[in-house]
Amino acid sequence: MSAVLSESAASDERVVDLDIEGFAPAGDGVGHIQGAAVFVPGAIEGERVRVAIPAGPVRAPTQGRLLDILSRAPDRLPPACPHAGVCGGCQWLHVAPRRQRTTKAAMFAQALGQLLDGVETRPLAHASQDLRYRARATLHVSGGRLGFSQKRSHAVVAVNTCPLLDDKLSAALTTLQTLLAEKSESWRLPRGCVDVALACDASRVSAAFFLERLSDDAERRLSRLARHAALDGALAVVNGRVTPLFGKPVLQRRAPSSTSAILRTRPDLFAQAHPQANALLVSEVVERLAGAERVLELHGGSGNFTLALAERVKALVSIEMCAGALELARQSAREASFGHVRFIVGDAIRQARDLARSGMRFDALLLDPPRGGAPGIAAVAEALDVHRVVYVSCNPVTLARDAQSLVATGYQPTFARPFDMFPQTVHLEGVMVFERERRPPHPRPSAP
């Protein structure tokens, strides 16, 4: 018997003794009552737990509240964070890294299903750092303090420390929270400041303050706060418009898999949060594009893959919607004398279609889209007549959807590998390669 029900002291709840049979995509443990799923945050596959559920018949999937662990899984760990279970940032601090990785590999395989039949699928890649790896984080402002979203809520949990943050970021957060906790008006965040993004490189920390509006008083206040928090640079962002506050907010690291190029980032721009894992990801992508001479890159960002590829290909076009990120990539390419790289600002799919209509052709197509994936990518690949597509995905569900469209267009999956870019969370990335034979060129009509 998988579940035993009894009345709870609370009239609106029942108590369930439940066997946890697996993990849900959101990271919760999953058990069943009369065929209906019960999702239990904090439970681990293989455990028997006591859970509170809403009173009444269970006819549809429902959420449970963990009360007690009756039979403990060997992979359970004490969470290394005082906010575990409340903060929504980490789902698996209580799960040993070994179990996290096997579960993520299984989730990747399940999402892609038959698409992986006969495909070379390498084991999940992961870095050695499971804590203190994050080189960037965005915190929300609530009540004048900084924090992360509460689990399944828009409420904000104030935090002074986070075990995932790089030591430099953690120290900066602690200092900022200490200043904000003082009653002095001098350290109060200006009205309309909604988020604070922190980022670091090997030695420096910078911040981006996201505001609804920026007055002269707000600019002075934020500059003073950032200086006293010992930040190395800061900027303000209002509706995408960036205003430097002080110092040097642009951060720099040696570009992964590059011999000389410098990868530039800013705290307000997207970048991979785990530098060590990112180096593994870039290395894999470079390997999968070996032999390609003309490459089109979609969603190129600030050059994470661009700079490594520029050393290995004859021609490279990188398309990116965010002008700020693309400008950093352009600056890095210029400094490294990569004159054969062309940068285009705009929507990736739309700009790629324009390139195809203009007659441009490429050996390979690389894309690293956001979580929504890349609807329309199959038609673009076909129009550009590429024989290889390397798809970097942060969402296996949309990767599977786009993979189906590529297969329907004649591309066959030849390689797949999951990547654990976010230890302690359910998020994972993956690389998948698709290939098809290049079509022979259409014969030109002979002259009359």
What does pLDDT average to over the chain?
94
What does the alpha-carbon distance between residue 368 and residue 356 come to, in Å, rounded to a whole number? Answer: 19
Among 52, 67, 59, 72, residue whose Cα is nearest residue 10: 52
The answer to whether residue 8 scores a pLDDT higher than 50 is: no
- Residue tagged active-site, from 87, 193, 200, 394: 394
**Mean pLDDT value of segment 423-431:** 97
Within 10 A of 275 (CB to CB), how many other CB atoms are there?
Answer: 22
Q: Examine the domain organization and report whether 306 and 216 are in the same domain.
A: no
Q: Examine the domain organization and report whether 171 and 124 are in the same domain.
A: no
The answer to whether residue 448 scores a pLDDT higher than 50 is: no
Among 227-231, 402-406, 437-441, whose mean pLDDT is lowest?
437-441
| Token code pair at residue 388 | 């290889």
**Domain tally for the chain?**
3
For residue 438, the model assigns a pLDDT of: 66
**What residue numbers bound the domain in which 18 lies?**
3-71
Assess if residue 447 is contained within a domain: no
Assess if residue 387 is contained within a domain: yes
Q: Examine the domain organization and report whether 58 and 202 are in the same domain.
A: no
For residue 441, the model assigns a pLDDT of: 55
Q: Examine the domain organization and report whether 124 and 147 are in the same domain.
A: no
- Sheet of 193-200: strand order equals 156-158, 145-149, 136-142, 193-200, 205-211, 233-238, 241-247
Assess if residue 348 is contained within a domain: yes
What does the alpha-carbon distance between residue 50 and residue 6 come to, in Å, rounded to a whole number? Answer: 11
For residue 59, the model assigns a pLDDT of: 83
pLDDT band at 9 (very low <50, low <70, confident <90, very high): very low
Assess if residue 259 is contained within a domain: no
Angstrom distances, CA of residue 312 to CA of 58, 263, 264, 300, 373 = 58, 17, 20, 16, 27
| Token code pair at residue 330 | 């352009």
What does the alpha-carbon distance between residue 309 and residue 294 come to, in Å, rounded to a whole number? Answer: 10
Helix axes 377-384, 396-408, angle to 10 degrees: 40
The answer to whether residue 185 scores a pLDDT higher than 50 is: yes
Active site residue 162: no
For residue 444, the model assigns a pLDDT of: 40
CATH of the domain at 155: 2.40.50.1070
Among 220, 251, 282, residue at a domain's last position: 251
CATH of the domain at 326: 3.40.50.150
pLDDT band at 152 (very low <50, low <70, confident <90, very high): confident
Q: Examine the domain organization and report whether 243 and 279 are in the same domain.
A: no
The answer to whether residue 439 scores a pLDDT higher than 90 is: no
Q: Examine the domain organization and report whether 159 and 54 are in the same domain.
A: no
Among 251, 284, 303, residue at a domain's last position: 251
**Mean pLDDT value of segment 92-99:** 97
Q: Which amino acid, residue 396?
A: P
CB 89 within 8 A of CB 425: yes
What does the alpha-carbon distance between residue 236 and residue 268 come to, in Å, rounded to a whole number? Answer: 9
Assess if residue 267 is contained within a domain: no
The answer to whether residue 314 scores a pLDDT higher than 80 is: yes
Q: Examine the domain organization and report whether 398 and 284 are in the same domain.
A: yes
Assess if residue 30 is contained within a domain: yes
The answer to whether residue 243 scores a pLDDT higher than 60 is: yes
Each residue of 198-219: pLDDT tens digit?
999 999 999 999 999 999 999 9
What does the alpha-carbon distance between residue 345 and residue 300 come to, in Å, rounded to a whole number? Answer: 10
Angstrom distances, CA of residue 62 to CA of 17, 19, 41 = 15, 15, 12
Q: Examine the domain organization and report whether 289 and 426 are in the same domain.
A: yes
For residue 1, the model assigns a pLDDT of: 41
Among 23, 55, 71, residue at a domain's last position: 71
**Mean pLDDT value of segment 3-27:** 79
Q: Examine the domain organization and report whether 378 and 418 are in the same domain.
A: yes
For residue 57, the model assigns a pLDDT of: 83
Within 10 A of 26 (CB to CB), how many other CB atoms are there?
Answer: 11
Phi-psi sector, 35: left (phi>0), alpha (psi -120 to 50), beta: left
pLDDT band at 153 (very low <50, low <70, confident <90, very high): confident
Q: Examine the domain organization and report whether 238 and 374 are in the same domain.
A: no
Q: Examine the domain organization and report whether 324 and 238 are in the same domain.
A: no
Q: Which phi and psi (to 5°) does residue 124 adopt?
A: -55, 130
Assess if residue 266 is contained within a domain: no
For residue 3, the model assigns a pLDDT of: 59
Assess if residue 107 is contained within a domain: yes
SS (H, E, C) the chain: CCEEEEECCCCCEEEEEEECCEECCCCCEEEEECCEEEEECCCCCCCEEEEEEECCCCCCCEECEEEEEEECCCCECCCCCCCCCCECCCCCCCECHHHHHHHHHHHHHHHHHHHHCCCEECCCEECCCCCCCECEEEEEEECCEEEEEECCCCCEEECCCCCCECHHHHHHHHHHHHHHHCCCHHHCCCCCEEEEEEEECCCCEEEEEEECCCCHHHHHHHHHHHHHCCCCEEEEEECCEEEEEEECCCEEEECCCCCCCEEEECCCCCCCCCHHHHHHHHHHHHHHCCCCCEEEEECCCCCCCHHHHHCCCCEEEEEECCHHHHHHHHHHHHHCCCCCEEEEECCHHHHHHHHHHCCCCCCEEEECCCCCCCCCHHHHHHHHCCCEEEEEECCHHHHHHHHHHHHHCCCEEEEEEEEECCCCCCCCEEEEEEECCCCCCCCCCCCC
pLDDT band at 34 (very low <50, low <70, confident <90, very high): confident
Could you give the dihedral angle defined by the CA atoms of residues 12, 17, 22 and 23, in that order, rounded to the nearest 10 degrees?
Answer: 40
Q: Examine the domain organization and report whether 24 and 157 are in the same domain.
A: no
For residue 442, the model assigns a pLDDT of: 47
Separation of first and last alpha carbons in the chain:
84
What does the alpha-carbon distance between residue 350 and residue 344 come to, in Å, rounded to a whole number? Answer: 11
The answer to whether residue 447 scores a pLDDT higher than 90 is: no
CATH of the domain at 30: 2.40.50.140
**Mean pLDDT value of segment 428-437:** 96
The answer to whether residue 440 scores a pLDDT higher than 70 is: no
Each residue of 362-417: pLDDT tens digit?
999 999 999 999 999 999 999 999 999 999 999 999 999 999 999 999 999 999 99
What does the alpha-carbon distance between residue 360 and residue 352 come to, in Å, rounded to a whole number? Answer: 9
Each residue of 41-56: pLDDT tens digit?
999 999 999 999 999 8
